[in-house]
């Protein structure tokens, strides 16, 4: 898909389709008003006849509008003008894209980027429109023998901006959005891949691919033998029941060109989580292929970062592993020695994410990180608490928490902060080891974060539980590509890159 920006008036466009907004009740946007004048009231007549109320997401496709050079005009309902917010804006764009894809228009000039969205500038509107478009057009069909493609797919969209002065801002928004969309697409592609194909070795190959494709990326893989030498007893235990070897990928992006401290992202990469000996119930177990969503998110963010060529140093870790039952598997009751030296009593082999992450989090100490953010589909309790709308954010470092909340607000990839008070730590007490891997039935997302906090004392750290946000179940099952957008926004902000005005 090709994107561009321009600043022109609607009647002068010679396109397959121009897209303009109509507010509720039957009120023309400024651009629609211009078209109406040129067409001698054609549009306002239609509205008066009741063809379009302007409710958010309503669509009306017009052909041969008098005096208009474009072949089609798509009127898009935008709801009440004063109520147009970020979420509605994105929904309107998505709906528009699906409609355009069905009309047979191969190109379109879209004026929705000129709508007023409270507190948002042209940069934001163009970037969000492109991210929403790419999200809407994504499909995972590489494993279908018969692929369904639209007959005349949309190829090109021009977003109009109000003034010529804003053209460079629009172009910057396109560049950023395309890089982020690339990252989101790689995240979705690996996450959607079935677990018989996407195993820890496959994850490592994806990490190697970034190394091959970008000059300033270098990837190293740590295998089980090396993990054993490092003393990663906890990570190794989780993978022991699987014939697929655990592999941890270290993706180094060197953008600063100096030895400034790296930002470190660590992703939980359980390519399948059966629960192990504490086997999960059968219903919906297929969705546990998405238990590598954290690693997919880190991979996506690293991809976007390499595309953007930001002047910072970042290290991405994909902690690849498979949790399976077998006679060789770790069991409830086992006491593991973590790389940090702390011992853990396993009370449930399904609380495996924290056991993999804790060793990865100790491993990254060697990089003397500026900060560490781990990303994980860690707990079902997180889904109960926040559903599919917000990622749970935990951090012992307030400035980092606020930076991440800001990035989530800017990108629309939402996060919500949860407490990490010491009061919850007691739930991890063990009679036999330093602590257990199970916090009991209350506050499961928090006790999981508390577990990780015991391994992150040496640096500034935040934890993102993406169990609810990384994928959608049901009829539209699939990876969401989250939290690539939020992480990349965080990196953009960190690098001091120019964005809006």
Stretch that binds ligand BES, among 12-20, 325-333, 349-357, 362-370 (CB under 6 A): 349-357
CB of 477 to Zn ion, least distance (A): 18
Q: How many CA atoms lie within 13 A of 108 on its CB side?
A: 29
For Mn ion, which is the closer residue by CB, 203 or 356? Answer: 356
Minimum separation from the CB atom of position 376 to ligand BES (A) = 8
Structure tokens, 198: 């996407």
Minimum distance between the CB of residue 62 and ligand BES, rounded to whole angstroms?
Answer: 45
What is the nearest approach in angstroms of ligand BES to the Cβ of residue 335?
17
Give phi and psi for 423, each to the nearest 5.
-50, -35
Helix (H, G, I), strand (E, B) or coil at 264: strand
| Residues 441-480 as x/- pattern, contact with ligand BES by CB under 6 A | ---x----------------------x-------------
Q: Any bridge partners for residue 60, and if so which?
A: 75
| 353 belongs to the binding site for Zn ion (CB under 5 A) | yes
Q: What residues between 431 and 450 interact with Mn ion by CB under 5 A?
A: none
What CA–CA distance (Å, rounded) separates 104 from 260?
Answer: 51
Contacts within 8 Å (CB) and 24+ apart, 37-40 = 38/11, 38/67, 38/68, 39/65, 39/66, 39/67, 39/68, 40/66, 40/67
How distant is the alpha carbon of residue 500 from its chain centre?
Answer: 21
Between 253 and 424, name the residue whose CB sits nearer to ligand BES.
424
Q: What is the CA radius of gyration of the chain?
A: 25
Q: How far is the CB of 436 from Zn ion (least distance, A)?
A: 17
Contact between 224 and ligand BES (CB under 6 A)? no
Q: Which 273-302 residues touch Mn ion, going by CB under 5 A?
A: 273
Give the total residue count for the chain. Answer: 501
Backbone angles phi, psi at 45, to 5 degrees: -60, -45
First to last CA, the chain: 26
Active site residue 27: no
Asked whether position 348 contacts ligand BES by CB under 6 A, the answer is yes
What is the rounded CA–CA span in Å between residue 193 and residue 63?
42
CA distance 193 to 291: 12
Segment interacting with ligand BES, rule: CB under 6 A, options 2-10, 258-266, 345-353, 362-370: 345-353
Tell whether residue 379 is a contact of ligand BES (CB under 6 A): yes
Count of beta carbons in the 10 Å neighbourhood of residue 487: 33
* x/- track of binding to Mn ion for residues 219-258 (CB under 5 A): ----------------------------------------
| Residue 182 is a catalytic residue | no
Instruction: Give the list of residues 6+ apart from residue 62 with CB closer than 8 angstroms, or none.
Output: 42, 43, 46, 72, 73, 74, 75
Of 268, 354, 454, 482, the catalytic one is: 354
Which tokens belong to 216? 């300033």
Question: Of these, 131, 211, 273, 374, which contacts Zn ion (CB under 5 A)?
Answer: 273
For the segment 340-379, give every residue that binds Mn ion (CB under 5 A).
350, 352
State the binding string over 469-488 for Zn ion (x if CB under 5 A, else -): --------------------
Among 35, 404, 438, 492, binds ligand BES (CB under 6 A): 438
List residues near Zn ion by CB under 5 A. Answer: 270, 273, 291, 353
Site residues (CB under 6 A) for ligand BES? 273, 291, 348, 350-353, 377-381, 383, 438, 444, 467
């Amino acid at each position: 898909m090709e994107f561009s920006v321009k600043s022109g008036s609607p009647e002068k466009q010679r396109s397959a389709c121009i897209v303009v907004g109509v507010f509720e009740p039957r009120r023309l946007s400024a651009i629609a008003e211009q078209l109406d004048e040129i067409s001698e009231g054609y549009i306002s007549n239609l509205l008066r006849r009741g063809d379009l109320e302007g409710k958010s997401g309503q669509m009306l496709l017009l052909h041969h509008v008098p005096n208009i050079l474009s072949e089609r005009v798509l009127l898009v309902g935008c709801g009440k003008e004063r109520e147009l917010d970020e979420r509605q804006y994105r929904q309107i764009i998505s709906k528009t894209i699906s409609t355009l894809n069905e009309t047979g228009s191969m190109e379109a000039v879209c004026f929705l980027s000129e709508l007023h969205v409270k507190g948002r500038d042209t940069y934001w509107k163009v970037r969000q429109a492109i991210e929403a478009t790419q999200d809407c057009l994504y499909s995972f069909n590489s494993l279908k023998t018969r692929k369904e493609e639209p007959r005349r797919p949309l190829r090109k969209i021009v977003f109009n901006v109000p003034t010529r002065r804003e053209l460079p801002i629009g172009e910057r928004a396109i560049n950023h959005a395309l890089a982020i969309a690339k990252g989101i697409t790689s995240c979705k592609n690996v996450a959607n891949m079935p677990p018989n194909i996407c195993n820890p070795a496959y994850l490592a190959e994806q990490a190697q691919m970034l190394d091959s494709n970008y000059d300033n990326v270098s990837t190293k893989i740590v295998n089980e033998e090396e993990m054993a030498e490092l003393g990663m007893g906890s990570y190794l235990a989780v993978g022991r029941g699987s014939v697929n070897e655990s592999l941890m990928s270290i993706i180094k992006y060197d953008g600063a060109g100096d030895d400034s401290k790296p930002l470190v992202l660590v992703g939980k990469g359980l390519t399948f989580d059966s629960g192990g000996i504490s086997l999960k119930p059968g219903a919906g177990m297929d969705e546990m292929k998405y238990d590598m969503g954290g690693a997919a998110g880190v991979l996506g963010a690293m991809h976007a970062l390499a595309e953007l060529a930001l002047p910072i140093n970042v290290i991405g870790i994909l902690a690849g592993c498979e949790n399976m039952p077998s006679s060789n598997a770790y069991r409830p009751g086992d006491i593991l020695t973590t790389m940090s030296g702390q011992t853990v009593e396993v009370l449930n082999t399904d609380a495996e994410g924290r056991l993999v992450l804790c060793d990865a989090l100790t491993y990254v100490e060697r990089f003397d990180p500026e900060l560490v953010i781990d990303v994980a589909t860690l707990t079902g309790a997180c889904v109960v608490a926040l559903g599919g709308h917000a990622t749970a954010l935990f951090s012992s470092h307030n400035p980092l928490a606020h930076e991440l909340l800001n990035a989530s607000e800017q990108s629309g990839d939402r996060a919500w902060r949860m407490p990490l008070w010491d009061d919850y730590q007691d739930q991890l007490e063990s009679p036999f080891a330093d602590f257990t891997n199970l916090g009991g039935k209350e506050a499961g997302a928090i006790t999981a974060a508390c577990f990780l906090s015991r391994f992150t004392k040496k640096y500034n750290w935040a934890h993102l539980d993406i169990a609810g946000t990384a994928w959608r179940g049901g009829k539209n099952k699939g990876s969401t590509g989250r939290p690539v957008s939020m992480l990349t926004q965080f990196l953009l902000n960190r690098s001091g890159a120019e964005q809006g005005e």
